Structure 1
Amino acid sequence: MIHFWTFALTAVGFIALALLLLRKGWRQSQSRLFAMAAFIHGLWAMSQIYGTFPFSTHLAWLLYTAHFLGWALFLVSLLPQSPGQTSGQTASQTSGGLQRIVGILVPFLILSKIISLLGFGIAPALLGQIIYILDLSSMILGLAALVGVFQATNDYERWHLKFICIPLGIAFAYDLVVHAQIFAMGDMNTAYHSIRGLLNLAIVPFLFISAARYKFWRDPFFVSRQAVLYSLTLIGVGFYLLLVAAAALILPELSEDAALPLQIGLLFFALMMLLFFLSSGSARARIKLFVARHFYSRKYDYAHEWRRLMGTLATDGRNNSSLEYRIIKACAEILESPGGALWVLEQDRPRLQATWNFRPATHIPHPVSIDLFQDDQGALHCLYDQRLAQSPFHVDRAAWIVIPLPHLQNLNGFLILTHPRVANKIDVEDEDLLLLVAQQCASFLAESKAAAILEENRQFARFNRQYAFVAHDLKNIISQLSLMLKNFDKHSANPEFQRDMHETIQHSVERMQKLIIRLTQVEAGKGSAEEPEEIAVYPVLQHELAKRAENNSGKAVLKADAAAHSLMIHVPKERFCATIGHLLSNAFEAGACKDDPIENETSEDEVEVSLDLIGDKIIIDITDHGAGMSPEFIRDTLFVPFRSTKRSGFGVGAFQCREFAREQGGDLDVISSPGSGTTMRLSFPALL
C-alpha cells in the first residue's frame, strides 16, 4: 500500500509541476526542458504502479534512464546562452561545449537502452548487465550536471538553485547506492524500492518552490572554468569506473572460478591508476588546456589567475619560502611549467637569487640590460622560440622562456622557466599575461629590496646612536681622568689622593668594559646590557651630588622629607647614576657660566636637588640658578641629537637622559625661561 500511494502521489506531483511550468513559460526553452524533465519523472513514477500492461516493464526501464537524462538536459540549459556582458562570448562558448557533451551522450544512452530492451537475441544475463551499465551511466551524467551547475554559481545564486540541485542530488545519490547494492548482492531489497518512492515524493515540494522562483533559473548565468574542469573530470571518472564495472561483469564469462580474485585485482588496479591520473600534473595541465581551447574564447580566467598570483605572493611566506621563490612558482603555474630560476641585476650583472625545480646554466652572459627585452618600438616582450634562440640565453638548453621583471623603466631582473609538462605553444595572450604578472612581481621585488635597505639603515642608525652615547660616556670618563692627572703633581704624595685615584681608575675601567658590552647588544636590539634592579633613590642622589660637588666650586643642596628617604625604583643602576650625574654636571656648569650668551648668565651658583612622591611617580628636580633657556631652545635644540652648544660636546647628553627615563616608564621635563634658571624634572614609576 505504501509503495502504491508514494509513487502515485509522486506521479501526480511531477505531472502537475510540468503543467504549471508549461502554463507559466512555454516560450522559454528552460521552462520546456524543466517541464519535460518533470513530466518524464512523473511517467516513471506512474510506471512503478502499473505493471500489467504489455511492455510495461520495458517502458519502466526506459523511463528510468530517461528521467535522469531529462534532468541533465534541463540543468545544462541553465548555463548561459547569449549573455550581454563582455564575457558573453566566453560564457556562451562554455555553455555550448557542455551542452554538446550532454547532447551527444543523451541520445546515445537512450538509443542504447532501446536497442538493449528490444533484445535482438541477447542473453538475459548479458542484457541485465547492459541495462545496469546504461542506468549507471545516466545517473553519473545527471550527478555530473548537478555538480557542475551548482559549482558554477555564486552564493546568491546557490540560495535559489539549492531547491533544485540538493533534492535531486540526494535522490540520484540514493539510486546510485541502490545500484551499488545490486552490484554487490545481485538483487534489490523491496524496502529500498519503497523508500525510493518516499524520497521522490519529498522532492516535489522543493521543485514547486524552485518553479515559483521562475525568474532566476530562466536567466542564464556564467559558469567558471573551475566548474567546467571539475564537471568534465567527474564525467570522465564516472565513465572510467563504468568501463571498469563492465570489465568486472565480463570476467565471470572468461573464468568462473577465478572471477572473484580477478574482480578484486581489477578494482585495486583501476583505483590505483585513477589516483595516479588525478594526482598527475601533466594530466591536470592537459585537461586545463583542453578546456581553454574548446570551451572558451580566451585562454585564461584573469580574475582567477590574479587571485592566485596575489595569494601565492602574499601567503606562501608562511612556509618560510623567500619572495623570489614564490615569484618563480607564481609565474610557472600560469604556463604549467615545473620549474624555473630568478636572477636579479646588480649594476647590469645577473646574480642567481632563487631556483625552483630547475638547475640553470652555470654561465649567464652579462651585462644584461632592458634593451634585450625590447623591440624596435621600445615595447617589452618575452624571449621564447626564435627570440630565445637569437638571444644570449640560448646557451641554457633547459630554458623555455625568459621573462623580464621591469620596474620604473629599469630592469630589476629576469625569470627563466623550463619546458612545461604538456607541449604548449606560447601565443600573444600568454605573453601579455606574463608581462602583466612580471610587472607586479618586479614591484614586489623592488619593495622588498627597499625594505631590506631601510632595515639595514635602521641598524646602522641604531649602532651610530649607541656609538654616540658611548662616545659621550667616554668623554665623561676622560674628564674625570684628566682632572686626576691635573692634580697629580700637587697631591701625588697624599695617601688619600692615591686612594681616590686608584678608585677612579678602577671605576673608569669598569665603565669602559660595560660600554664595550653595551655595543655588542646593539645587534640583538638591546639598548643596555645592564639588568634593572631595585635601588633606593635618596642614597644615590647623595652620592652623586657629593661626587659632583667635590669637582665644582658651586654649592649643592639636597631637599627631601623623611618619607622620601625610603623611596625605591626598579631601573638599571649604572645608567640611572649616569643620568643623575650628567644632569648635575650640566646644572653646575650652568651656574658657573657668567658670560656665555648661549648658556646664558647666572646670578648664583647653587644647585638644588629635591626628591618627592606625587601619585605613583617619583619626582626628582635638579635646579640651577643660571640664566635659563628659551622655549624655542628647549623645543628645537636641547633634545635634538648631535646639536651641542659646548665645544667638546656630542649633543646627545640631554637626549640620552630623556630616552632612558622614557624606557623606564617615566620622562624628563624642562621648566625654564630666560632669567629664571632651569629645573630638570625626572619622573620614574615608584615601587610602592
Structure 2
Amino acid sequence: MSGPVQFIGDWGHALGAALFAVLAIWTARRVAGQRIGKLLVAALSLTAIWSLAIAFDGVDETHAGLMEGLRNCGWLLCLSLFPMRTQIRHLRGTWPLYVVLALMLPAQYALDMASAILPLSRSADAAVADGRLILHILWALGALVLTQRVYRTCEAKDAAQMAPLAAAMAAMWGYDLLLYASGLFPGDAMPLLFALRGVAMAALVPVIALTLRCRGGQPVRASRTLTWYGLWTVVAAVSTVAVMAVLMTVEMIASPLGRAIVTGLLFALVAGALLLLSATRYSALLKLWVSKHLFPHRYDYREQWMAFVDTIDSAGASGAPLYDRLLKAMADITTSSGAVLLMLDEDGQFSCDGVWNWKGEAPQGFAADPGMLELMRKKTWVVDIGQARLAKDGALPAWIAQDDTAWAMVPLLHFGKLLGAILLGRPPLVRPLDWEDFDMLRAAGRQVASYIAEARGQQELEEARRFEEFNHRFAFIMHDIKNLVSQIALVARNAERHADNPAFRKDMILTLTECTDKMNMLLARLSRHSVRGEGDRALFALGDAVRQAVAGKRKSHAVLIEGALGAAVETDRASVEQIIAHLVQNAIEASAPDMPVIVRVERAGATARIAVIDHGCGMSAEFLRDQLYRPFASTKQGGFGIGAFEARELAQALGGQLKVESVVGKGSTFTLVLPLADGLADTRPDKERAA
C-alpha cells in the first residue's frame, strides 16, 4: 500500500483496537457475570487484538488471518446464544450453518499457512489466493444469512434489544464481503478497502455500546431528531456520490458540446433539488412522509411539549407579549401559517384579543353558535373547519366559512370553563385533521387556557394591589385631615372671643392659609402613583425640617427644639416633616398642658437621630408589643389609630427606622433614625424654647 493509504490503515486499525479494548473493559464491568456477557467480552477482546495486529504488522502477515478467524469465531459464538435465550427449537434450522461456518475457519487458516510456508509456483500461488478469497466471501455470506436467521427467531422483546448488535455484525461481515469480493476484479480498490476497514470497525463501537447500555426488555429506538439527522446524512451522502459519478461520466464524454449540455443539466438538477428541499411545502411533505412511515405516531410528544413551553417562556429573548407567544406556540404544533385568539364574553360573543401572523383582516367579533359552544365546553371539540365547510355546517360564522385561511379552531378550557378559542391558519401542506391532531390540540388548548387564566389572575392581583395602595394612602391622609380639622376647629372656637382683635385675625388668616396648603398637598399625595417615601430627594438641615413641622403646633403647646440642628440628611423632606408632625402631635396629646414636648436632634456615627420626648402617661410593654403599630386601633376618642403606623411606614420607606421607649407614668421617647449626609451646617442657635 502507498504512503497515505498505509497511514490511514495503520492508524484506523489502531483506533479500532483502542475503542474495542475500552468497550471490552466496560462490558466486563457490566455484564461479565452472565454467560453471554463473558462471550461478548471475549469477542470484543479478540477484535481489539486482531485490529492491533493489523495496525503493527499489516494484513499480509499469517497471524493476521489467524486473528481474523478467531475474531469471527468469537462473534459466531455470541450469535449462537441469542436463539437459545428464547426457544432452543429454533436452532434446528440454523445449526447446519454453524457447522459449515465453523469448518470454513480452519480451511481458511490452512490456505493462509500454505501460501506463507510452502514453496508454490506462480500458478499454484494464484490458485491458493483465489481459494482464500472465495472462502472468505462464502464465510461472509454465510455469516450474513445466519445473522438474519437468528434475528428472525428471537422474540419481539429480544429482537428489539438485539437489533443494534445484529446490525453491527451485519455491517462487519458485509464490509468483509465487499472487501474480499473486490479482490476478484481488477483494480486497486482492495488495498483502499483494507485501509478503511479499521475506521469502519471503529464506527461500530458506539452501536454495540448502545445495545449494552439498553436495559433488558427495552427496545433501542432512535429519536426523531437523530432519525432526521441520519436521513439527511444519507440523502447528502447519496447525492454526493451520485454527483461525483455523474461528473466522472461527464469527463468520459469526448464531445465538448455534449459535455457542456450534460454539465448544464446537472447544474439545473442540483439547483432545482435545492430549491424544492428549501420550500416550506415540500419540506412539510417530506416530514409528513417520514412521520407516517418511520414513526408509530405523528408527534414526538416530549420534544413537541418542550418546544411549546420554550416558545411561551421566551419573553426575555423575543420580547413578544404573552398572547403572541401563546399563539405562536399553538401554530408551531401543526406548522400553521398564523393564529387568532378569540376570547368569549358572558353574552356568548367572541372578540379578537390577539393576532399572530394572520393573513388578511382579523375578526372584530361575532356571535358564537350555542350548539358549537356546548360541544366545545363539554367535549373539548376541536373544529375541523375544512370538514365543516364540506358538510356545510351552519354553526360556523360566515366569515370563517368563507375565509380559506382558517383551518382549525381549538377551544380553551380552564377547569370546565370555556375562556375562548384559538383559530389556526392553514399549514403549508393542507391535510385533514386526525385523532392525533385532535388530542394534541386539546391538550395544548388546556395549557394555553391555564396561561391565560394565570395572566388574568396576575392582572387582577395588580389592580387589587393598586386599590390597596390607594386605600392605604387614603387612610393616612384621613388621619392628617383629622389633625387639620382639629386645628381649624380650635381657630373657630377662639374666633368667638377674639374676632375683634387684629392680631388674632392676622394669625387666623395665616393658620387657614397653612391648612389650605396642607390639604392641597394631601390631595396631591392621594393622586400620586408612586410608592410612598419616593418623593423628591434633597439635602437639608434637620433643624429646618423640625421647625417647619412644629410651627403650627407650638401655638397651642410648648415645644422645645434642641441639639445638633445643623445635622444634614439627603432624603424626601416632606416625608420627614410628616413623621415629626405625627410624633409631636401624639406627644402633645399625651402630655399635660404645662409639660413641654422636647424634640432633640443628635448625630450618632453615620446616622442622625430625631427624638420626640414627652413626660406623659407612658405606655406599657404589652401595648408597645401588641397595639402601638396596629392600624385602626386607637385608645383616643375619635382617633384613627394610624399615626404611629404611618410614621413607621414612612421611616422604612426613607431607609430609616422608628424606635420607641416608654415607661408607664414617666413618658415616651420616639426616635427617628436616618442616614446622615455631610456638608451642611446650621449656624442658628441649637436651643429654642416656645414662647
TM-score tier, shorter chain, comes to 0.5 to 0.7
Q: Is the 8 A contact 1:349 1:366 kept in 2?
A: yes
Q: Aligned to 1:374, what secondary structure does the other structure show?
A: helix
Whole-Å separation in 2 of the counterparts to 1:355 and 1:580 = 55
Moved more, 436-445 or 474-483: 474-483
Q: Aligned to 2:313, what secondary structure does the other structure show?
A: helix
Please state how far the C-alpha of 1:237 moved relative to its aligned partner.
3.4
Q: Is the 8 A contact 2:541 2:566 kept in 1?
A: yes
Q: Is the 8 A contact 2:412 2:446 kept in 1?
A: yes
Q: Is the 8 A contact 1:518 1:528 kept in 2?
A: no
Per-residue CA shift, 1:531-555, capped at 9, x if unaligned? 232x333454456456422223xx4
Matched, 1:322 2:321: yes
Matched, 1:221 2:226: no
Q: Aligned to 2:610, what secondary structure does the other structure show?
A: strand
Matched, 1:666 2:656: yes
Structure 2 residue aligned with 1:138: none
Whole-Å separation in 2 of the counterparts to 1:265 and 1:547 = 100
Matched, 1:621 2:611: yes
Please state how far the C-alpha of 1:635 moved relative to its aligned partner.
4.7
Whole-Å separation in 2 of the counterparts to 1:279 and 1:652 = 71
Per-residue CA shift, 1:565-610, capped at 9, x if unaligned? 55333322222122111210111112259xxxxxxxxxx7442334
**Closer, same or farther in 2 for the Cα pair 1:264/1:532, shift >3 Å?**
farther
What letter matches 1:22 in structure 2?
A: L
Structure 1 residue aligned with 2:395: 392
Matches within 5 A, 1:371-450: 372-374=373-375, 378-384=378-384, 386=387, 389-390=392-393, 392-395=395-398, 396=400, 397=403, 398-450=405-457
Q: Is the 8 A contact 2:352 2:364 kept in 1?
A: no
Q: Is the 8 A contact 1:28 1:218 kept in 2?
A: no
Q: Is the 8 A contact 2:610 2:673 kept in 1?
A: yes
Please state how far the C-alpha of 1:364 moved relative to its aligned partner.
5.0
Structure 2 residue aligned with 1:366: 367
Whole-Å separation in 2 of the counterparts to 1:541 and 1:316 = 49
Q: Aligned to 2:314, what secondary structure does the other structure show?
A: helix
Structure 2 residue aligned with 1:235: 234
Please state how far the C-alpha of 1:520 moved relative to its aligned partner.
5.5
**Closer, same or farther in 2 for the Cα pair 1:654/1:214, shift >3 Å?**
closer
Whole-Å separation in 2 of the counterparts to 1:497 and 1:262 = 115
Matches within 5 A, 1:210-609: 215-216=212-213, 221-251=220-250, 256-257=255-256, 269=268, 272-316=271-315, 318-347=317-346, 348-358=348-358, 359=360, 362=363, 365-367=366-368, 372-374=373-375, 378-384=378-384, 386=387, 389-390=392-393, 392-395=395-398, 396=400, 397=403, 398-477=405-484, 479-480=486-487, 483=490, 500=507, 504=511, 507=514, 511=518, 514-515=521-522, 518-519=525-526, 521-522=528-529, 525=531, 527-533=533-539, 535-538=540-543, 540-541=545-546, 544-545=549-550, 547-552=552-557, 555-558=558-561, 560=563, 564-592=564-592, 605-609=595-599
Q: Aligned to 2:344, what secondary structure does the other structure show?
A: strand
- TM-score, normalisation: structure 2: 0.66
Whole-Å separation in 1 of the counterparts to 2:79 and 2:622 = 84
**Closer, same or farther in 2 for the Cα pair 1:546/1:391, shift >3 Å?**
same
Whole-Å separation in 1 of the counterparts to 2:396 and 2:637 = 62
Task: Give the RMSD, CA atoms, in angstroms.
Answer: 5.4
Per-residue CA shift, 1:391-432, capped at 9, x if unaligned? 632520333222111111101111111232223232222212
Please state how far the C-alpha of 1:252 moved relative to its aligned partner.
5.7
**Closer, same or farther in 2 for the Cα pair 1:544/1:433, shift >3 Å?**
closer
Whole-Å separation in 2 of the counterparts to 1:232 and 1:466 = 67
Whole-Å separation in 1 of the counterparts to 2:650 and 2:512 = 26
Q: Is the 8 A contact 1:341 1:355 kept in 2?
A: yes
What letter matches 2:586 in structure 1?
A: N
Q: Aligned to 1:425, what secondary structure does the other structure show?
A: coil
**Closer, same or farther in 2 for the Cα pair 1:501/1:472, shift >3 Å?**
same
Structure 2 residue aligned with 1:184: none
Q: Is the 8 A contact 1:370 1:411 kept in 2?
A: no
Q: Aligned to 1:683, what secondary structure does the other structure show?
A: strand
Q: 5+ unaligned residues in a row in structure 1: which ranges?
A: 120-127, 136-192, 594-603
Please state how far the C-alpha of 1:484 moved relative to its aligned partner.
5.0
Q: Aligned to 2:296, what secondary structure does the other structure show?
A: coil
**Closer, same or farther in 2 for the Cα pair 1:204/1:253, shift >3 Å?**
closer
| 2:75 paired residue among 1, 21, 28 | 21
Whole-Å separation in 2 of the counterparts to 1:27 and 1:557 = 104
What letter matches 2:579 in structure 1?
A: T
Moved more, 641-650 or 461-470: 641-650
**Closer, same or farther in 2 for the Cα pair 1:580/1:370, shift >3 Å?**
farther
Whole-Å separation in 1 of the counterparts to 2:129 and 2:581 = 111
Whole-Å separation in 1 of the counterparts to 2:128 and 2:245 = 27
| 1:680 paired residue among 663, 670, 681 | 670
**Closer, same or farther in 2 for the Cα pair 1:585/1:644, shift >3 Å?**
same
**Closer, same or farther in 2 for the Cα pair 1:20/1:659, shift >3 Å?**
same
Moved more, 467-476 or 401-410: 467-476
Matched, 1:657 2:660: no
- TM-score, normalisation: structure 1: 0.66
**Closer, same or farther in 2 for the Cα pair 1:661/1:235, shift >3 Å?**
same
Structure 2 residue aligned with 1:169: none
Whole-Å separation in 2 of the counterparts to 1:525 and 1:263 = 78
Q: Is the 8 A contact 1:248 1:263 kept in 2?
A: no
Whole-Å separation in 2 of the counterparts to 1:682 and 1:650 = 22
Identity, in percent, stands at 27
Whole-Å separation in 2 of the counterparts to 1:636 and 1:203 = 82
What letter matches 2:76 in structure 1?
A: L
Q: Aligned to 2:466, what secondary structure does the other structure show?
A: helix
**Closer, same or farther in 2 for the Cα pair 1:82/1:264, shift >3 Å?**
farther
Greater Cα radius of gyration, structure 1 or 2: 2
Q: Aligned to 2:457, what secondary structure does the other structure show?
A: helix
Q: Is the 8 A contact 2:355 2:362 kept in 1?
A: no
Q: Is the 8 A contact 1:317 1:323 kept in 2?
A: no
Q: Is the 8 A contact 1:244 1:270 kept in 2?
A: no
Count of aligned residue pairs for this structure pair:
571
What letter matches 1:366 in structure 2?
A: A
Whole-Å separation in 2 of the counterparts to 1:208 and 1:281 = 38
Whole-Å separation in 1 of the counterparts to 2:551 and 2:516 = 21
**Closer, same or farther in 2 for the Cα pair 1:55/1:374, shift >3 Å?**
farther
What letter matches 2:356 in structure 1?
A: W
Whole-Å separation in 2 of the counterparts to 1:549 and 1:541 = 11
Whole-Å separation in 2 of the counterparts to 1:209 and 1:368 = 59
What letter matches 2:629 in structure 1?
A: F
Whole-Å separation in 1 of the counterparts to 2:163 and 2:388 = 38
Q: Aligned to 2:396, what secondary structure does the other structure show?
A: helix
Whole-Å separation in 1 of the counterparts to 2:453 and 2:601 = 54
Structure 1 residue aligned with 2:86: none
Q: Is the 8 A contact 2:484 2:515 kept in 1?
A: yes
**Closer, same or farther in 2 for the Cα pair 1:656/1:212, shift >3 Å?**
closer
Please state how far the C-alpha of 1:290 moved relative to its aligned partner.
1.8
